[in-house]
Chain A
Amino acid sequence: MPSAPQRVQIVDTGPKGNKPTVIVGVPEAGLVGTIASSYLVEQLKLEERGFIDSDLMPPVMVVHSSVVRYPLHIFGKGNLIVVLSEVPLVGRLAVEVSKEVAAWAKSLKADRVVGISGAPSNEREQTQGDGKSAVVGVGNDQESIEAVKASGALPFEDGVISGFYASLMKYCTRDQQSAVVLLAESLAQFPDPGAAVSIIDSLNKLLSLKVDTKPLVQEAEGIRLRTRELMQQTQQAQQQPGATSGGSAYR
Chain B
Amino acid sequence: MMPGEDDDIEQSTGDLGRMFTEAFSAMGTSLFGPFSASLRPLSRVVVDNESVTVTFDLPGVSKEGVSVVCTQDFVSIEAEGRKHSGSAGQAGRVSSVEYVKYSERVALPVLVDPDRGSARFRNGIIVVKVPRLRSGRQLKVAGAQDKK
Contact = CB atoms under 8 A, between A and B. Distances in A.
Main secondary structure on chain A at its contact with chain B?
Answer: helix
A129 interface: yes
A130 B123 contact: yes
B122 interface: yes
B124 A221 contact: yes
A215 to B, nearest CB: 8
Nearest to B82: A221
Interface centre among A34, A190, A220 (most CB of B within 10 A): A190
A7 interface: no
A229 to B, nearest CB: 9
Given A42-B87, A131-B3, A222-B97, A190 B42 contact: yes
Interface residues of A, number: 38
Interface in A114-133: 125, 127-131
Interface stretch (B9-17, B66-74, B88-96): B88-96
A232 interface: yes
B57 interface: yes
Interface in B33-50: 39, 41-42, 44
Given A86-B90, A128-B122, A227-B91, A221 B3 contact: no
A224 B124 contact: yes
Interface of B: 3-4, 39, 41-42, 44, 55, 57, 59-60, 84-94, 96-97, 100, 120, 122-125, 127
